[in-house]
Amino acid sequence: MARRPLLPELPVRQWVLSLPYRVGLLCAYDPDACALVREMLVRAVAFVQRFDSGLRLNVHVHVLWLDGVYCWEPGRKEEWCGRGGLTDADVGRLVDRVRDRVLRALRRLGKWPDESKELEVGGEEEQQQLALGSAVVQGRAALGGRAGERGRDARPGWYSRDEPYVKAPLCAEVNGFSLRAGGVAPGYDRERLEKLGGYVGRPAGCATS
């Protein structure tokens, strides 16, 4: 008997949530905070990546969602309703809502520290690791004669923007929260879906084409 695919032959979209410096650093050292942030995006299977392609500390979340919903009415069979027509404005509204939900949840549970103070974790060794991680997340040199200086690829100072703005097609940012939704696998393209799944679930240092 032929095995049924885990995912139906429907379009699947990849969403990626990147976090501002303080939220990302908090999630890197506080598993409960990381789980809370993930749940504010989606209460389903999500992949939390801790590193970028250069193996630098960069906590972000990947999700694969069906690009649409099943519709159902009493007495009728469920029908697939494709989302279609996703716009930059849609992504902007969503990242704005995610930002609000994440910060509200962190503050409610006492996970959001005073922004005038440095984050603190564990003992002296853990605090040293936190300081190194903080420098990496901000794109600054942690040690040596250039300690504190920003690297060429450091993020620009867009954290103060309080309104969502479009950075690229289907990619919007607000206060350092970034949401991308450009990757889609059509329902008929199982090879593309397999590549998307391999990409979002890859371990650190594993490149995929």
What are 56-80's pLDDT values in tens digits? 778 899 999 888 888 888 888 888 8
pLDDT at 14 (0 to 100): 92
pLDDT of residue 87: 93
CA distance 58 to 25: 8
Q: Which amino acid is at 166?
A: V
Residue 17, pLDDT above cutoff 80: yes
pLDDT > 70? residue 128: no
Q: Is the pLDDT of residue 91 over 60?
A: yes
**Could you tell me which residue, 34 or 133, shows the higher pLDDT?**
34
Pick the most confident of 4-8, 91-95, 152-156. 91-95
pLDDT of residue 12 exceeding 70, the answer is yes
CB crowding 60-93: b at 16 or more within 10 Å, else e: bbbbbbbbbeeeeeeeeeeeeeeeeeeebeebbe
pLDDT of residue 105: 93
- Neighbouring CB atoms inside 10 A of 6's CB total 6
